[in-house]
Homo-oligomer: A and B are copies of this chain.
């Protein structure tokens, strides 16, 4: 592991990259302890604050964890799916909001990917998944629910559907697509009528899943996607019209 003091890049960035590469190449194993900050600053010939900045960078990506005390130090962190979920959701949400991704594009991505779970979920869904989905669907039928809570429940429903596919890699990959939709959905005001329709789709999806009918799940998901898109479009149109009038 070497760094170039004359490179245009920050030293701390170079050091972070060197250590990151060592982790990714398997040179540093999970739970292995890195040299202490003092030792690293000697090895790389930089000061301790610079080493610390590099370690903080790696910590932000959950690649290492640090511990104080006599036997403390920085350790290669086993990246857990739950940790990765959070980062994935943060990144996805910011990507959508900062790049002016349209509701339609995000919605299309979400449902396209989610439909790919239909077959697997039908095979593997447990009673637990069904119970969660029914509970959320029931919650969604409460008229007292705020729009925000309705959206949150919608996300929980779809997350249960994705988890029912029983593949942690899929759950991880779709966490971003499903959760990042929430801020976009929150811009919609749901009428009692539209809530009812969505709840109906959710019931149909859950029923089909219970009967392990993957094709039906796919069909209803597709219909729900269309309906959601239509709903969003009408909101956008209405907003556009209001703008023109004012």
Contacts and interface: CB of A to CB of B under 8 A. Distances in A.
Interface string A178-208: 0000000000000000000000000000000
Contacts of A113: 113, 116, 170, 173
Q: How many copies of the polypeptide does the oligomer hold? A: 2
A112 B116 contact: yes
Given A56-B53, A173-B109, A98 B116 contact: no
A57 B87 CA distance: 13
Given A61-B60, A109-B167, A87 B91 contact: yes
A94 interface: yes
Interface residues of A, number: 58
28 contacts: A23-B94, A24-B93, A26-B97, A30-B98, A49-B49, A52-B53, A54-B56, A56-B57, A56-B60, A57-B59, A78-B99, A79-B91, A79-B98, A87-B91, A88-B88, A88-B91, A92-B173, A95-B172, A105-B169, A106-B169, A109-B173, A110-B169, A112-B117, A112-B165, A112-B167, A113-B113, A113-B116, A115-B116
